[in-house]
Structure 1
């Protein structure tokens, strides 16, 4: 009875909110097996792909643990680098959007600078392949998001710092929940591709400052696009 249809069923974010709300209310406690993908899809009245994306994001965030052949279980809270409370707060609260963009800029601009300093032919090829994939799938939101994620993770990896890479992975798991709603803005995908191209070109040239500037411009533009769709909130 506690699982009801959500209002914006096309957005995995709404499913994430609903699932984490149940966990925070202790309907499901650490160690509990949550209902199957099929059952959740029926209860929420959404497609199984929406449930799958939401559960996948919660696994990446460390809220759930996926066990092959068994299902998804609620994880015990941990004291990892980015705590569960911090990550959940960024994910679930519109009021934290500006703070999240600030964090993205601080982390990803430095990653882009380091990627340019550490540039390799393999890195440049991976970035260009991701951009080509984004151009090739203009109407497929999931494929576009996957290519976008690969682009940013490749840069985080190229920073050659495992903490940057870990934080970059966490950032992308949050991006996958929030940012797909901007795909319904007609110019979003074209502008995203252009912004990625500027970043990739600067990294390919080994231009650290230009790579950082291009990344900053992209993140601020992406944040602005999302902000236009998020309800006005009171900022602390």
Structure 2
């Protein structure tokens, strides 16, 4: 089993020990195992953003596998937006994750069977965390802009000349900005995954509230959320989320 030093770390400029990357492989799909090995190295900090990873040849030689398995693993991680290939320089861990690229979590959730109730429970759980952090981290300017977005959504919903798609975009703008003012990129990214998975529920809720002649239901809920964030009323979050869940059930179930 290899336990020496591997290529120079580009960001640090000093040799790094990649011994865990080259530990003896368990049984299973070789490309999947290599993907998992690189992923674990990222989680542990053995590989960091900007680092150059070992070459296909180095991986193949140290692991005793064919280059095709290594190449397939690298292709997967490039598709996921985790690695990038720089011509004549090698393969590197990306400096910043691009949310526009393939997110495997989204496909995993899409391909799994989930009920509407389960989805709403997840939305509430994340909304709770987002609201809590927004209360702690949002600046007065953040809250003022969030209120503007809420009022824009209200105007769109109450204007018969504004179509449902425009209302959806106004709702999305409010929620995307709300996620950003938590100033917690990890939570914001998780929230963005659920927003994407649950996009159809937002469309359906907007359409239903306008159909039943109550277009202000959702905007009023959004603006109440802004009020609570501004007040810092953390003790009121649970009651607000219960109210929101009842609203979603009314419009979606």
Please classify the TM superposition score into its range, dividing by the shorter chain length.
0.5 to 0.7
In structure 1, what is the Cα distance between the partners aligned to 2:177 and 2:237? Answer: 14
Higher relative contact order (CA 8 A, sep 6+): 1
Q: 2:219 aligns with which of 185, 193, 205?
A: 193
Report the CA distance shift for 1:204/1:144 in structure 2 as closer, same or farther (over 3 A).
Answer: same
Structure 2's unaligned 5+ residue stretches are 1-78, 81-100
Residue in structure 2 matched with residue 124 of structure 1 by the alignment: 143
- TM normalised by structure 2 equals 0.51
Whether 2:152 is the aligned partner of 1:150: answer no
What is the TM-score normalised by the length of structure 1? Answer: 0.55
**Alignment match, 2:118:** 99
C-alpha distance after superposition, 1:107-146 (max 9, x if no partner)? 1111101101113122212221111111221232112111
Residue of structure 2 in register with 1:206 after alignment? 232
Q: Distance in 2 between matches of 1:170 and 1:189?
A: 26
How much has 1:196 moved relative to structure 2?
A: 0.9
Structure ID, larger Rg: 2
Q: 1:214 to 1:186 in 2, by over 3 A?
A: same
Higher alpha-carbon deviation: 213-222 or 131-140: 213-222
Label 1:83 to 1:178 Cα distance change in 2 as closer, same or farther (>3 A): closer
Aligned length: 148
Gaps of 5+ in 1: 1-61, 64-75, 228-236
The structure where helix makes up a greater share of residues is 1
Q: Which residue of 2 aligns with 1:112?
A: 131
**How far apart are 1:103 and its partner, in Å?**
0.6
Q: How far apart, CA to CA, are the structure 1 residues paired with 2:140 and 2:189? A: 23
* In structure 1, distance between residues paired with 2:186 and 2:154: 31
Residue of structure 2 in register with 1:41 after alignment: none
Two-structure CA RMSD over aligned residues (Å): 2.7
In the aligned structure 2, how far is the partner of 1:85 from the partner of 1:226? 23
